[in-house]
Amino acid sequence: MVHIKRIQEGNVDIISVIGEIDASSSIELDLSIAKSVGEGHKNILVDCNALEYISSAGLGVFMSYIDELSDKGIKMVLFGLKEKVASTFQILGLADLLHITESKEEAKKKVHDLSI
Amino acid sequence: MPIGFNFGFFVENKAIVRLTFIGAIIVWLIMVFSDITVLFSDLKGLEPDLPTWLPRAMLDLFVISIFYYYKYKIEYDDTLNFTDLLWRVFAVGLVVTISSLSIKLMLVLLGSTALTGNVIFNEIIYLINLALFLIFLVAAFTAWKRLIVYHKSKWLIRFWRVFELTLLFVLIYDTLGIELTEWMMTVMIVDVGVFALVLSANMKWVAYLNFKQKWISLLLLLLSFFYLGYFFYTVTTQSGIIGAQSNAFLDFRSHIFNILLFAFIILYSSFSFLVILFNLPTSSAFEQKLEEVVNFQRISQSVQTEQNEESVYQILLESSVNSSFADAGWLEIYSEPDHAFYTNQITEKDALYIRDNLNKNQVKGAIDQSSDKTRNLSKHLAKIKGVKFRSILSSPLLIKGELAGSLTLLKELPDGFNKEMSRIVSTFVNQAGISIENFRLLAEAFQNERYKEELKIAKMVQKSLLPEKLEGDNSFQISAYSQSADEVGGDYYDAIRLSDHEVALIIADVSGKGTSAAFHMSQMKGIFHSLAQTEHSPSGFMLRANVALTNCLERGSFISAIYFVINTEKKMIRYARAGHCPVLYYCASKNMAEYLKDKGSALGMIRNSSYSNFIDNQEFAYQEGDMLVLYTDGITEAKNGKGQEFGYDRLADIVNQVNGHTPHEMQQIIIDTLHEYSGKDKINDDYTTMIIKFT
């Protein structure tokens, strides 16, 4: 089960993912990212502080947006990943393809750096 | 009269019928002979040679014979319905009356001769009439019994038994000729009277007659009354004539049994007549109810009788029109793609005209799909020009709680639909909805059964995709095991010998699970078998596999894999890891298992040439006793009851503890530990292990 919240802070859209993402709940993650992209946000932060577990299907969602985001010039940064979640990204080799930071401040800075 | 010869068990019914018939005739003849003898002796003032009770005893036997005759003719004949029973009684009555009348006619033709004035001659005529009368009474008695105990209950059957026993007692009492005090007589007659009255209240069979049958029954009963009256009059007058000369004969009037039997037959006939008469006006309503039940059954049973949805709709429309006495009706099914329009007594054009006009006038009701209640829309009809109908009733057809269609009934009379009709139509529509639902559930069940069968086949096919036996070698042992969470899974392992001293190994895990994963797994097998022979560099293998998969994998899907090339001559291992769980390597010299650290993205994750930046070749030498422990995330991510994962450390611990075992034994220990940990037999993901031990 997953619960997803979205809030806007300045020019960034923050997607907070709470709970676990498995094959069925990955659809919700997909929808919320698609919505954010559809609304025209250029800076997207994904708050993973409360993300307990992510399955390969969930990782697939992030993976599937990599090309689309770079084509549209949208910056997406994940932050606050728990160790276990981070290692899942690491093992799959997805950590090298996504921007991942420790905290929200660093994530905002990363977005800013990427814009230049 | 429950005393019985148990012949029924040994002889066929037909034989008993014949036996009782012949018995009755013989007994009757003896009765006639003895009674005449007694009468003759009495007239001459002589002491008769025969005992005076003999004629009475013979009369009893005659009654009993006739009773058993009809018991087998009427009571045990299950094919008779109510009117048949009455018809039987009527027919018996007709035969006996005609016989009696013929004798009378003969006497009239003979005129007033010495013979007709003779007492003995009169006696014979009287006895013939008495026998005919008794035949009719007993036949009626048997038929009435069937009518009375139609709704069998324990108490009713017992009550009837007692009634029969009482009558038998009266019969025997008549024979013995014991004089009873007057009050005892009265008690006996009152007893039988009460019995008769209570039994006569059992009229339930009347309710099952339809209008026509009721009329027939009334007629048959009326004619039976006539027979009864005729015979009663005849035997009474004749016994009067004989009685004027002598009392030493079988006087009908002094025979209490005969009187009681006659009274009972008359009583029940009268009750039946009156009850049928008073039930006549309501019988059409009862028939209507019965028809509704039958229609209801037709709709409910249409599923079992392998009819289709269309026939359910047809039955629904037809039944509703009939049950509500509507002049016309239509049934519209909205659901796409099988939108349908059924009409009854009205053309589709007229029906659509009314419907469209009602919709145009924005009538809120079932017709415009906005309501789910049966509604009477009559007042809106008056506004439409050129329509002869003045009443309209519309009901929504709900299937699985969704509006699937509407049934509309029309009548030329204003206010033609009462609450009762609207209720029954609602019931019909609901039942039809349930029937359709059942149809669909049944179809779904069949479909599911088929899918299950297909999945079984898929499972077998997939099992054949995994190697039955892995390429072993003198220099290493190998063992692998794979289990899917669903029928089919996305885990894959394989091994190919490349040359005398080179073997390629692969373990792969398709993202997701189930059927789509299984398809990609089979693609992976194809890629492995075609590329392994030509591409000796592990990273080169991954690069080409990535290109091959780019066009096959849907967005968001990927395959994690590790590809090894083991050279047993140089004792070297080369491998590339594409996003798969890290290799657990047991080093015999260090006596420790460790996860190998390296980088590499899963296949399908980067679908362009830049993938080469994300995949590396690794190479190292192995020694005797070293082990490669390969696995999929189904093992490390298996959870226990508390939701904690099995994890990497636990797996490494097992390998450290049991490193002396063969790969096959170690594999079994890992699987057992895993099952023990998860605490349930089914682990919620595909899981695979492949263990290689160098020797």
Segment B68-82, tens digit of pLDDT: 998 888 877 777 788
Residue for token pair 């792969």: B508
User: Does B582 sit within 8 Å of A60, measured CB to CB?
Assistant: no
Q: A10 to chain B, minimum CA–CA distance in Å?
A: 30
Contacts of B684 in chain A (CB under 8 A): none
Residue B681: what pLDDT?
A: 59
> Residue B373 — very low, low, confident or very high, per pLDDT cuts 50/70/90?
low
Contacts of B560 in chain A (CB under 8 A): 56, 91-92
- Average pLDDT over every residue of B634-640: 88
Q: A112 to chain B, minimum CA–CA distance in Å?
A: 25
Residue A49: what pLDDT?
A: 93
Residue A76: what pLDDT?
A: 93
Mean of pLDDT over chain B = 85
> Residue B353 — very low, low, confident or very high, per pLDDT cuts 50/70/90?
confident
Q: Which residue of B has its CA nearest to A30?
A: B556
Q: For chain A, how many structural domains are there in total?
A: 1
User: Does B607 sit within 8 Å of A93, measured CB to CB?
Assistant: no
Tell me the C-alpha distance between B244 and B364, whole Å: 89
Assign residue B375 the CATH number of its domain.
3.30.450.40
Contacts of A91 in chain B (CB under 8 A): 560, 579-582
Same domain, B309 and B343: yes
pLDDT tens per residue, range B139-182? 999 999 888 888 778 888 898 999 899 888 888 887 776 666 77
Nearest to A94 among B555, B605, B633 (CB): B605
User: Does A94 sit within 8 Å of B511, measured CB to CB?
Assistant: no
Same domain, B504 and B484: yes
Q: Answer whether residue B539 is part of any domain.
A: yes
Helices (H) and strands (E) in chain B, counts: 19, 15
Structure tokens at B531: 């590329």
Highest mean pLDDT out of A36-50, B99-113, B421-435, B633-647:
A36-50
- Average pLDDT over every residue of B276-283: 86
Nearest to A63 among B556, B578, B633 (CB): B556
- Phi and psi angles of residue B573, each rounded to the nearest 5 degrees, phi first: -120, 130
Q: Answer whether residue B291 is part of any domain.
A: yes
- Average pLDDT over every residue of B183-197: 83
- DSSP assignment letter at B47: P
Nearest to B556 among A60, A84, A92 (CB): A60
Q: Which residue of A has its CA nearest to B556?
A: A60
User: Does A64 sit within 8 Å of B555, measured CB to CB?
Assistant: yes
3-state secondary structure of A53: strand
Contacts of B578 in chain A (CB under 8 A): 93
- Average pLDDT over every residue of A34-49: 92
- Average pLDDT over every residue of B393-421: 84
Residue B9: what pLDDT?
A: 47
Q: Which residue of B has its CA nearest to A62?
A: B556
User: Does B580 sit within 8 Å of A97, measured CB to CB?
Assistant: no
Helices (H) and strands (E) in chain A, counts: 4, 6
Assign residue B603 the CATH number of its domain.
3.60.40.10
Decide which of B695 and B507 is more confident.
B507
Same domain, B349 and B304: yes
Contacts of A94 in chain B (CB under 8 A): 579, 601-602, 605
Highest mean pLDDT out of B34-43, B249-258, B364-373, B572-581:
B572-581
With residue B410 as reference, give the H or E element that holds it. strand B402-411
Contacts of B601 in chain A (CB under 8 A): 92-94, 96-97
Q: A23 to chain B, minimum CA–CA distance in Å?
A: 7
Q: Which residue of A has its CA nearest to B554?
A: A64
Q: Answer whether residue B7 is part of any domain.
A: no
Parallel/antiparallel/unpaired status of strands B687-694 and B476-483: antiparallel
Q: How many CA atoms lie within 13 A of B80 on its CB side?
A: 20
- A101-110, B355-364, B466-475: segment of lowest average pLDDT: B355-364
Q: Chain B 77-106, CB below 8 Å of chain A: which residues?
A: none
Interface test with A, best of B520, B539, B555 (most A CBs within 10 A): B555
Q: A53 to chain B, minimum CA–CA distance in Å?
A: 10
Tell me the C-alpha distance between B220 and B202, whole Å: 19
pLDDT tens per residue, range B117-142? 778 888 888 889 989 999 999 999 99
- Average pLDDT over every residue of B602-627: 90
User: Does A57 sit within 8 Å of B511, measured CB to CB?
Assistant: yes
Q: Answer whether residue B245 is part of any domain.
A: yes
What are the start-end ranges of the H helices in B255-301? 256-279, 283-301
User: Does A96 sit within 8 Å of B512, measured CB to CB?
Assistant: no
Same domain, B269 and B208: yes
Q: Which residue of B has its CA nearest to A53?
A: B637
- Domain range for B166 is 80-281
- DSSP assignment letter at B252: G
Decide which of B5 and B242 is more confident.
B242
Nearest to A60 among B558, B601, B633 (CB): B558
- Average pLDDT over every residue of B503-532: 89
Q: A105 to chain B, minimum CA–CA distance in Å?
A: 28
Nearest to B511 among A56, A67, A93 (CB): A56
Interface test with B, best of A85, A91, A94, A98 (most B CBs within 10 A): A91
Tell me the C-alpha distance between A54 and A29, whole Å: 11
User: Does B602 sit within 8 Å of A64, measured CB to CB?
Assistant: no
Q: Answer whether residue B128 is part of any domain.
A: yes
Contacts of A69 in chain B (CB under 8 A): none
Interface test with A, best of B605, B608, B613, B616 (most A CBs within 10 A): B605
Chains A and B: how many Cβ contacts under 8 Å?
Answer: 58
Chain A residues with a Cβ under 8 Å from any Cβ in chain B: 23, 30, 56-57, 59-61, 63-64, 66-67, 84, 91-94, 96-97
B558 pLDDT more than 80: yes
pLDDT tens per residue, range B194-228? 888 888 888 888 888 888 888 999 999 999 999 99
- B48-52, B370-374, B492-496: segment of lowest average pLDDT: B370-374
Of B633, B625, B673, B678, whose CA–CA distance to B650 is shortest?
A: B673
Contacts of A37 in chain B (CB under 8 A): none
**Within an 8 Å CB–CB cutoff, is residue B512 touching chain A?**
yes
Nearest to A61 among B556, B580, B645 (CB): B556
Q: For chain B, how many structural domains are there in total?
A: 3
Tell me the C-alpha distance between B340 and B454, whole Å: 34
Residue A64: what pLDDT?
A: 87
Q: A70 to chain B, minimum CA–CA distance in Å?
A: 13
Of B24, B94, B89, whose CA–CA distance to B61 is shortest?
A: B24
Nearest to B602 among A30, A57, A93 (CB): A93
- Domain range for A41 is 2-115
User: Does B601 sit within 8 Å of A97, measured CB to CB?
Assistant: yes
Which residues does A20 contact at the CB level (< 8 Å), separation at least 6? A1, A2, A51, A52, A53, A54
Structure tokens at A65: 């947006």
**Which of B236, B262, B281 represents a domain boundary (last residue)?**
B281
Tell me the C-alpha distance between B503 and B566, whole Å: 5
B337 pLDDT more than 80: no
Same domain, B257 and B212: yes
Same domain, B310 and B374: yes
pLDDT tens per residue, range B14-68? 888 888 899 999 999 988 888 888 888 888 877 777 777 888 888 888 999 999 9
Contacts of A57 in chain B (CB under 8 A): 511-512, 556
Q: Which residue of A has its CA nearest to B583?
A: A91
Parallel/antiparallel/unpaired status of strands B391-399 and B375-376: antiparallel
Same domain, B100 and B222: yes
Decide: A16 and A50 in contact? Cβ < 8 Å: yes
Structure tokens at B514: 């189930």
Contacts of A64 in chain B (CB under 8 A): 555-556
Same domain, B101 and B142: yes
Q: Chain B 639-658, CB below 8 Å of chain A: which residues?
A: 645
Tell me the C-alpha distance between B606 and A93, whole Å: 10
Q: B548 to chain A, minimum CA–CA distance in Å?
A: 18
Decide: B661 and B669 in contact? Cβ < 8 Å: yes
User: Does B580 sit within 8 Å of A60, measured CB to CB?
Assistant: no
Q: Answer whether residue B453 is part of any domain.
A: no
Tell me the C-alpha distance between B95 and B511, whole Å: 94
**Within an 8 Å CB–CB cutoff, is residue B660 touching chain A?**
no
Q: Answer whether residue B54 is part of any domain.
A: no
B368 pLDDT more than 60: no
Interface test with B, best of A21, A29, A37, A56 (most B CBs within 10 A): A56
Q: A93 to chain B, minimum CA–CA distance in Å?
A: 4
Cα–Cα distances (Å) from A107 to A77, A80, A83, A85, in that order, read 6, 9, 17, 17
Assign residue A54 the CATH number of its domain.
3.30.750.24
Indicate the residue type of A101: T
In percent, the amount of chain B with pLDDT more than 90 equals 30
Task: Look at the alpha carbons of B88, B90, B93, B97 in this order and tell me if their dihedral is positive or negative.
Answer: negative
Q: B680 to chain A, minimum CA–CA distance in Å?
A: 20
